[in-house]
Structure 1
Amino acid sequence: MPTPDFIREIRATAGHQLLWLPGVSTVVFDDRGRVLLGQRADNHEWALISGIPEPGEQPADCAVREVYEETGVHCVPERVVVVRAGKEVAYPNGDRCQFMDITFRCGAVGGEARVNDDESLDVGWFELDALPKMRDGIHFRIKQALAEEPTWFETTT
């Protein structure tokens, strides 16, 4: 995902120090129960659609915007399924960040899944029993989105 302009401005004065950043990810289901995934252009991995809220943007609004910008699919947020701090990430240029991810379960309400920007190589709907190879954390978030449970929070105690 390209670095938003507001983060570039912070980096201009903060240097490579660790930045704590908000993030949202989405588990979008269509009316057939398939999940929407994108193959990322940066690492070629299949993943949930995700992004960084702009300053002042509500996380749910960011989820809807990111899904449309990246896939052409219109969706509505239904509930928060996971809130979790990720591990620190170090980039090749020396920048360091850690994301606080809020994962939303969303329902598709229109549009057609397609590559809609330069952040994805491919976009598609997947049956739950035919998911592509993905990181374990993505499978966990899909599982939580399917469960009729309260929001999952990670604790260290």
Structure 2
Amino acid sequence: MGTPDFVVELRKKIGHDHLWMPGVTAIVVRDVPAGAPLGATPKILLVKRSDNGQWTPVTGIVDPGEDPDVAAIREVKEETGLDAKVEALLGVGAVGPTEYPNGDRASYMDTCLRLSVPEDAEPVVGDEESTEVGWFEAMHLPVTNPRLRMACGDAVAQLRHPEGFETRIGWHKRGQPGRTAY
């Protein structure tokens, strides 16, 4: 879908000035099927972004009045053609600032969620935001962004051990220098 209409309208008024916006990261995980070979790991759905050529989970901007879980499901559908279901909240935290190739600057309050899709669902490139889409073994992700690699790891950890999962996104334990627990 590209840049949401409300952002386009804001940019007409403020140009490339820094914007603070709600964002969502949708990490779609496919668990290891029964009978898979020993050592098989869950797979994660990734898109290759058309703006910078990087492989990432599905990300997007939350529209005005839209809840993050609804935005995550919408973004997965738009970018991959798949109908997803939200399974877990992985964390909420600040991301950015980011400067885009056109000069726009933004930071996000990002909600990171783990999602699932039907077992046999196969993705397609759904819009101009991506050039490729595919499933990747969690142990061999082409994701280079450290925050997104950590989020993918957290998605698998939460899937495998939900009762002991502790988020690393947007939550900092007491005693860490310069950080406050809420």
TM-score normalized by the length of structure 1: 0.90
Residue 118 of structure 1 aligns with an amino acid whose one-letter code is E
Bigger share in strand: 1
**Distance 1:11-1:71 versus aligned 2 partners, 3 A rule:** same
Residue 97 of structure 1 aligns with an amino acid whose one-letter code is A
Greater shift after overlay, 135-144 or 89-98? 89-98
Q: Any gaps of 5 or more consecutive residues in structure 2? A: 33-41, 173-177
Distance in 2 between residues matched to 1:104 and 1:144, nearest whole Å: 10
Q: Deviations over 1:91-149 (max 9, x none)?
A: 34432211111110111126421111111111001111222242111110011112231
Per the alignment, residue 57 of structure 1 pairs with 66
Show the 5 A alignment for 1:2-151.
2-32=2-32, 33-109=42-118, 111-147=121-157, 148=162, 149-151=165-167
Structure 1 runs, 4 residues or longer, greater than 6 Å off:
none
Q: Deviations over 1:61-111 (max 9, x none)?
A: 010011011111111111110211112122344322111111101111264
TM-score normalized by the length of structure 2: 0.78
Residue 77 of structure 1 aligns with an amino acid whose one-letter code is V
Distance in 1 between residues matched to 2:142 and 2:93, nearest whole Å: 23
Residue 144 of structure 2 aligns with an amino acid whose one-letter code is M
Residue 19 of structure 2 aligns with an amino acid whose one-letter code is L
Residue 48 of structure 1 aligns with an amino acid whose one-letter code is P
Tell me, yes or no, if the aligned pair for 1:72 and 1:111 is still in contact at 8 Å. Answer: no
Greater shift after overlay, 85-94 or 66-75? 85-94
Q: Deviations over 1:36-75 (max 9, x none)?
A: 0011111111001011111111110010011011111111
Tell me, yes or no, if the aligned pair for 1:37 and 1:126 is still in contact at 8 Å. Answer: yes
Tell me, yes or no, if the aligned pair for 1:82 and 1:144 is still in contact at 8 Å. Answer: no
Q: Any gaps of 5 or more consecutive residues in structure 1? A: none
Which is greater in Rg?
A: 2
Identical pairs, percent: 40
Distance in 2 between residues matched to 1:40 and 1:107, nearest whole Å: 21
